[in-house]
């Protein structure tokens, strides 16, 4: 199958979703847009960050022409991401929304990503294969029983283990097929009380699926996950060290939204940061949300810093340009409270979730890198 995505490889050294990839703070650029294209999903995962917005029917979406016009006006764009809900749930959404956006992206030379649970028939994914760089999936399971417990915990209908096992296997098979077709399959694991002691097995399964990248993010309390316990900082450090001990060094490992910083005086933090820096094919991505990315809801036109969280609406694509809304966020008091940048550590500081979970009494602007 012919693919139309740019031929320049996406690598640990060249990650266009990294906020510092093409900008020097404090002058961040709007280089990334994320689209919420559906509120439908076939799963109800316990950790879902948008679970309470899920519905059984989508509203009509805004004209694609308006969406593409706003993208045209954003001159610094490098990446587009598609999220939901489950973006691939409806064939109509795939045909009428996702395909035109992806085709626009490839014509403009933008890199593309879809966030999917990969549990739908493979034919649904074949339609977008020529136009996607990265297929991002969640993988928090060491066995089918984990899958059964996690993905249906908020489901109104009871699902048997046998049914869950079939979907578990389909997800793995779809990942393998996409990887074989040349797509970068990136599997994300959440660090939480369910996964933190199962990471070696989870990593092995991700390798078996042919994934190019294993993403690791701590779970923070948002939406469905708002009542789930977060790991302590010592537990997070232990889980990351364990994973680094057993990982396949040929696989790209990307850590995101980590609550550990080079300005920390804690020697355990410093030890972990140095190990992450020195490990082969390991990167720590600064959070794109608010630094270089905005989220567009295609039904309302509302633009936010992220598809989850409590920042509020920055504007609407029916009346505002993306650049004007990005500038609005840059001057927002919430952004100013966390908007620090350390050139020595190439660190953009905590995002709001990290800040509120661990560092409410910390002024990062008064700190400096110690390693």
Contacts with 351 (C-beta within 8 Å, 6 or more apart), sequence order:
257, 287, 289, 290, 338
Give dist(CA 114, CA 134) in Å, integer.
Answer: 7
Buried b / exposed e along 147-167 (16+ C-beta atoms within 10 A): bbebbbeeeeeeeeeeebeeb
Question: Phi, psi (5° rounding) for residue 206?
Answer: -65, -40
Name the nearest CA neighbour of 36 among 213, 299, 214: 299
Tens of pLDDT, residue by residue, the chain (371 residues) = 789 999 999 999 999 999 999 887 878 999 999 999 999 999 999 888 787 888 999 999 999 999 999 999 999 999 999 999 999 999 999 999 999 999 999 999 999 999 999 999 999 999 999 999 999 999 999 999 999 999 998 888 899 999 999 999 999 999 999 999 999 999 999 999 999 999 999 999 999 999 999 999 999 877 656 778 899 999 999 999 999 999 999 999 999 999 999 999 999 999 999 999 999 999 999 999 889 999 999 999 999 998 556 678 999 999 999 999 999 999 998 888 888 899 999 999 998 889 989 999 999 999 999 99
d(CA 318, CA 325): 12
Measured CA angle at 323 (ends 322, 324), to 5 deg = 90
d(CA 135, CA 154): 25
Sheet (strand 134-138) strand order: 282-285, 252-256, 213-218, 184-191, 134-138, 111-115, 79-83, 32-36, 293-297, 302-304, 315-316
At 170 the pLDDT is 98
Report all structural domains of the chain as residue ranges with CATH numbers, in order of start.
32-366 (3.20.20.70)
């Amino acid at each position: 199958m012919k693919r139309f995505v740019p031929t320049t490889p996406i690598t640990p050294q060249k990650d266009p979703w990294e906020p510092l990839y093409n900008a020097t703070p404090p002058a961040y650029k709007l280089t990334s847009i994320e689209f919420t294209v559906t509120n439908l999903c076939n799963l109800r995962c316990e950790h879902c960050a948008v679970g309470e917005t899920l519905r059984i029917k989508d509203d009509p979406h805004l004209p694609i022409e308006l969406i593409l016009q706003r993208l045209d006006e954003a001159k610094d764009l490098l990446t587009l991401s598609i999220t939901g809900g489950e973006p691939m749930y409806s064939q109509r959404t795939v045909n009428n929304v996702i395909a035109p956006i992806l085709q626009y992206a490839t014509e403009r030379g933008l890199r593309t990503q879809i966030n999917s649970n990969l549990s739908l028939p493979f034919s649904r994914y074949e339609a977008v294969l020529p136009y996607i760089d990265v297929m991002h999936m969640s993988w928090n399971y060491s066995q089918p029983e984990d899958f059964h417990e996690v993905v249906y915990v908020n489901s109104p209908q009871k699902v048997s283990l046998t049914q869950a096992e079939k979907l578990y296997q389909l997800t793995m098979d779809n990942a393998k097929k996409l990887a074989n077709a040349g797509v970068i399959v990136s599997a994300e694991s959440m660090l939480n009380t369910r996964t933190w002691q199962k990471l070696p097995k989870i990593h092995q399964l991700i390798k078996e699926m042919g994934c190019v990248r294993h993403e690791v993010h701590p779970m923070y309390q948002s939406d469905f996950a708002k009542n789930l316990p977060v790991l302590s900082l010592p537990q997070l450090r232990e889980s990351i060290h364990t994973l680094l001990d057993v990982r396949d060094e040929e696989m790209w490992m990307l850590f995101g939204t980590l609550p550990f910083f080079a300005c920390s005086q804690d020697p355990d933090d410093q030890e972990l940061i140095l190990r992450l820096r020195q490990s082969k094919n390991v990167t720590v991505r600064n959070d794109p949300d608010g630094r270089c990315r905005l989220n567009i809801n295609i039904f309302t036109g509302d633009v936010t810093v992220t598809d989850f969280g409590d920042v509020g609406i920055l504007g609407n694509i029916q009346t505002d340009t993306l650049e004007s809304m990005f500038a609005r966020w840059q001057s927002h008091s919430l952004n100013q409270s966390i908007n620090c940048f350390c050139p020595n550590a190439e660190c953009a500081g905590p995002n709001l979730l990290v800040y509120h979970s661990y560092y409410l009494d910390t002024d990062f602007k008064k700190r400096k890198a110690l390693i």
